[in-house]
A and B are shown apart, each in its own frame.
Chain A
Amino acid sequence: MIAAEGLGKRFGEVEAVREVSFAAGDGRVTGLLGPNGAGKTTTLRMISTLLVPSAGTVRVDGIDAAREPLAVRARIGALSDARGLYARLTARENIAYYGELRGMARRGIEESTARLAELLELGPLLDRRTDGFSQGERMKVAIARALVHDPPNVILDEPTNGLDVMTTRSLREAVRRLREAGKCVLFSSHVMQEVAALCDEIVIVSRGTVTATGTLDAIRAAAGCEDLEDAFVRLTGAATQEP
C-alpha cells in the first residue's frame, strides 16, 4: 500500500512536481501515466526515498518515508530509472548482491533467485556475466534484483522502455502474477496501451501534477472520450492550457 499526499519537489527554480496525491492499493496495479518530463520519475524517486520531497508525505504500508526511510526501503522493490548492472558479475551474482544488502541468508537468496528466474524466464541467463546481455535481458535481471527480498510493494519506472514485443508480453505477464500474489504494484509509463492493458487504476500526470485518477472507465468518462489515447490527450492538454 503506497499513499502519496500533496507531494511536491523543487530543484532550485524549477518546480518538478506539485500537489501529487494518490493511493495505490495491495493486489492492484496502479499506473502512473504521463508524457516524458511530466514528473513521474521524480515522484517515484520520492516514494522510494531517494529524493526528499519539498512538500507532502509518502506512506508505505503506513510508514512515513521521511521519518523511517530505511524501513520504507525494506518494504519496497523498485526498478528505478537508472538500472545498470555490474557487467563483470553474473546475473545470479548481481541478484545475490542485493539480497545480501537486504540481510538475506544465502539459502533465502537461492530460493528467491529460483522463483524470480521462473517468473521472469531468466533460467539460462543466470550464470552468465551480464556484459553481453540484450536490453531485455538486462531489464529482467534488474527487476529480479529489485524483487529479491519479495517486497509487498513493487515500483516499476517505465519497465517496458526499449523492449521488444515478446519481452514486453512476458513482463506484463509477470506484473499480473505479482498482482495475483497480492502485491501493490506501482507502474509508470508514457504508453497508453500498456497502461490500459495492465492497470486497475490509472493516475494521469502532466506537467508535474495529477490531472485525473480512476479506473480506465472512469478516466474515459471524465474526459468524455471512448478511446484512452483521446482521453489522455484531452486530460494532459487541458493541463497545458492552465495558466
Chain B
Amino acid sequence: MIARALTVFLKEARDALRDRRTALMVLAASVIAGPLILVLMAQFVSGLEDRALTRKVRMAGAEHAPALVNFLSRADVEIEKAPPDYAERVKAGSLDAVIVVPADFHERWLAHEEARVELVYDDSRTESSPAIRQSERLLDAFNRETAFLRLLARGVSPSLNKTVKVERVNTATPRQRGAAILMIIPMFAIMATVLGGMTVAIDATAGERERGSLEPLLANPVSTLAFALGKWLAAWASAALVAAVTLAGFVLAAELYAERKLPSLLQFGVPEYARYLAVLVPLAALTAALEMLISTYGRSYREAQTYVSYLSTVVAFVPLVVMFSGGREAAWQAWVPVLGQLVALQRILRGDGLSAFDALVPAAIAMALALAAVAAVARLLRDERIVFGRS
C-alpha cells in the first residue's frame, strides 16, 4: 500500500509542478509578499514615530530636579507624577516611559557634577516607542541647553556638552523589542501553510471529480486509503514548500532591506528559520489534510475553493483573536491547533525558550488530526454518493 501511495504522490507532485496556479502561488508568496510585508511594517513603524504626540512626561522624584522641571514647563510639557510602582507598570505596559530623578540630582547639578537620571521603559511594545523617544529628546534638549548656558557664562566655546548622563533601564530583552513588530511573521507563516496546500488539495479531490478522472482512478486495484495518503502527501509537500519559500523570502528581505529601518528584523535569521519549519511542517500536514477533506465534498474545483476559503478564514481569525484579546499565554493554548503553533512561533521570535511541551504537543495534535482527516477522505472515496455525485 505504501508503494501505491508513493505512486500517487509522485504523480500528483508532477502534475502540480506543471500547474501554473501552483507556480504563481509560490511566486506570489515568496518573491512579492515577503518584501511587501516588510515595507508595510517599516511604514507602520515610521508612522508611529511621526504621530502627533501629547506633550506629557511622567516623572518620579521631580522635586529633586527643579531645573529640569523648569525647562519642561518652558517647553510646554505637562509633567505627571509617576506612581511608586512605576517599574512594574512599565513592565506590564500600562506606563510607557518614566524619568526617575535621584535625590542628589539638584546638588550635583548645581555643583556642575555629572547628574544622573534614569529613563525606565519597555519598548517591546511598539505603541510605547513614541513616548520613549519623546522623553529621550526632551532630556537631550535639556542637556544641550544647560551645557550651552554654562559655557556661555564662562566665556568658553561650547565644547563641553555633557552635563547630564542618561542611563537607560530597558526592562525588555533586545530580542523582545523586534518581536513586537514581528507578530506579523507568525501569522503570515501560518497562512502560507493554508494557501500553499490549497491548489494541490483541491485539484487532487474535487478537481479529479470534475475532470471525470476519479471514477477510472478508483477502478484500479488500489485501496482508497493509498489514494488518500498519496494525495495528502503531495498537498502536504506543497504546503510545507510554500511556507519554507515564503519564510526564506522574509529572511532574505530582512537581510537586504530592513537593515536601516528595522534592525530588530535581523534577528529573524537562519536558526529561527529552522525552528519555524519544525513548527510549520506538522501544521502543513493538518491544513493540507483538512483542505482535502473539505474539497472531497466539492463537485467542482470552484465549489471546493469556496469551501476551503471558509477554512482559511477560520485559520486567519485565530491570530487576530489572540492579537486583539491581548490574552496571556496559557498552557491550554498548546492543545488547540493553529493557536498552539502561533504561540510557539511567537516564542521563537521573542527568543524565549521553546520547551519540548510547547513544540511537541501542537505537532502531535496536528499529525493526529491530519491522519484522522486522511482516513475520512479514504472513507468518502468509497462512498457512492461522493464518487458519482448525489444521485
Given A88-B18, A89-B14, A101-B7, CB of A82 within 8 Å of CB of B214: yes
A220 contacts the other chain (CB 8 A):
no
A70 contacts the other chain (CB 8 A):
yes
User: Is B391 a contact of A82 with CB atoms below 8 Å?
Assistant: no
Segment from A46-54, A161-169, A173-181, A222-230 that makes contact with B: A46-54
Instruction: Count residues on chain B whose CB falls below 8 Å from chain A CBs.
Output: 27
B212 contacts the other chain (CB 8 A):
yes
User: Is B4 a contact of A83 with CB atoms below 8 Å?
Assistant: no
User: Is A52 a contact of B216 with CB atoms below 8 Å?
Assistant: no
Given A86-B15, A88-B15, A100-B7, CB of A50 within 8 Å of CB of B212: no
Given A50-B387, A76-B219, A89-B14, CB of A82 within 8 Å of CB of B7: no
Cross-chain contact of A78 among B3, B219, B384 (Cβ < 8 A): B219
Cross-chain contact of A145 among B212, B216, B384, B391 (Cβ < 8 A): B216
Closest to B6 in A: A100
Cross-chain contact of B216 among A87, A103, A146 (Cβ < 8 A): A146
A146, B221: Cα distance in complex, Å: 12
A136, B213: Cα distance in complex, Å: 16
B215 contacts the other chain (CB 8 A):
yes
List of A residues within 8 angstroms of B220 by Cβ: 73, 98, 101-102
Range class of the A interface residue count: 20 to 34
A78, B11: Cα distance in complex, Å: 21
8 Å CB contacts to A: which residues of B1-38? 3-4, 7-8, 11, 14-15, 18-19
A71 contacts the other chain (CB 8 A):
yes
A180, B311: Cα distance in complex, Å: 55
List of A residues within 8 angstroms of B134 by Cβ: none
List of A residues within 8 angstroms of B217 by Cβ: 101
Looking at the assembled complex, report how far the CB atom of A135 sits from the nearest CB atom of chain B, in whole angstroms: 12
Looking at the assembled complex, report how far the CB atom of A35 sits from the nearest CB atom of chain B, in whole angstroms: 18
Closest to A49 in B: B219
Closest to A89 in B: B15
A70, B384: Cα distance in complex, Å: 17
A145, B387: Cα distance in complex, Å: 20
8 Å CB contacts to B: which residues of A51-89? 51-52, 70-71, 73-74, 76, 78-89
User: Is B221 a contact of A102 with CB atoms below 8 Å?
Assistant: yes
A83, B208: Cα distance in complex, Å: 11
List of A residues within 8 angstroms of B143 by Cβ: none
List of A residues within 8 angstroms of B216 by Cβ: 78-80, 82-84, 142, 145-146
Interface string of B301-314 (1 = CB under 8 A from A): 00000000000000
8 Å CB contacts to B: which residues of A131-153? 142, 145-146
Cross-chain contact of B219 among A11, A73, A100 (Cβ < 8 A): A73
Given A52-B384, A100-B7, CB of A84 within 8 Å of CB of B213: yes
Q: Which residues of A contact B (CB under 8 A)?
A: 11, 45, 48-52, 70-71, 73-74, 76, 78-89, 93, 97-98, 100-103, 142, 145-146
Q: Which residues of B contact A (CB under 8 A)?
A: 3-4, 7-8, 11, 14-15, 18-19, 208, 211-223, 384, 387-388, 391
A-B contact pairs, 21 of them (CB 8 A): A49-B219, A50-B388, A51-B384, A74-B221, A78-B216, A78-B219, A82-B215, A83-B213, A85-B213, A86-B213, A88-B18, A88-B19, A93-B14, A101-B4, A101-B8, A101-B217, A101-B220, A101-B221, A101-B222, A103-B3, A145-B216
Closest 4 CB pairs of A and B: A84-B212, A82-B212, A84-B213, A84-B211
